[in-house]
Amino acid sequence: MPLDPHIQIFLNQYNEMPRPSLEDVTPPQLREMEKMSLTPSKEAVKKVYNKEIQLNERTLTIRVYEPEGTGAFPALVYYHGGGWVLGSLDTHDSICRSYANETNCIVVSVDYRLAPEDKFPAAVNDAYDALDWIAAHASQLNIDSTKLPRGRQCRWQPCCGCKHFSKTKTRSIHCSSAAYLSICRI
């Protein structure tokens, strides 16, 4: 089956773009390149704000997306893609805006620590601790604490890591999956 002509044009343009070899670029340089290629989202959301949260002797930033309507809302906790090395709140801003509007949920995007600067299991620890913080502070975020799923693009590691930690900590997390999004509930 041939590709859709619009997709073929996109792929041709993408393949013509000059890109350095990954062997020649450091992760911080890749992150800078990623920032330079961002296109600001045009999708409006009722309210978007960043919040610094204190987690076990470290501080992380979360970005909260609140849809139209009145809460308390269900929630989706989002961990951006990027292979644990790339990605940020900004690189996945558009998708979080869409999720907030399409699902009528509060979306909380977590800016977890990245490798190689922060070695495994730093990102998984951040994922669990942020989820725990969000659950404990649900009312401050206009979240219905009985409807607190968590999700992430593509890979299972944050979901499964959180599930593993939850067996020895204070919350029980149950995972299920869709083709594109892993969802867990506390």
Q: What would the mean pLDDT of 16-44 be, rounded to a whole number?
A: 84
Instruction: Using the predicted structure, report yes or no on whether residue 151 has a pLDDT greater than 50.
Output: no
All structural domains of the chain, each given as residue ranges with its CATH number in brackets, are 28-185 (3.40.50.1820)
CA-closest candidate to residue 127, choices 72, 176, 74, 169: 169
Pairing of strands 106-111, 75-79: parallel
Instruction: Using the predicted structure, report yes or no on whether residue 21 has a pLDDT greater than 60.
Output: yes
For residue 64, what are the β-bridge partners?
A: 49, 108
Sign of CA dihedral 157, 81, 21, 14: positive
Instruction: Using the predicted structure, report yes or no on whether residue 65 has a pLDDT greater than 90.
Output: yes
| Distance, CA of 166 to CA of 75 (rounded, Å) | 18
Digit-coded pLDDT (tens) for 91-116: 999 999 999 999 999 999 999 999 99
How far the first Cα of the chain sits from its last, in Å, is 43
- Mean pLDDT, the chain, integer: 81
The answer, as to whether pTM is greater than 0.85, is no
pLDDT computed for residue 164 by the predictor: 44
Confidence of residue 146 (pLDDT cuts 50, 70, 90): confident
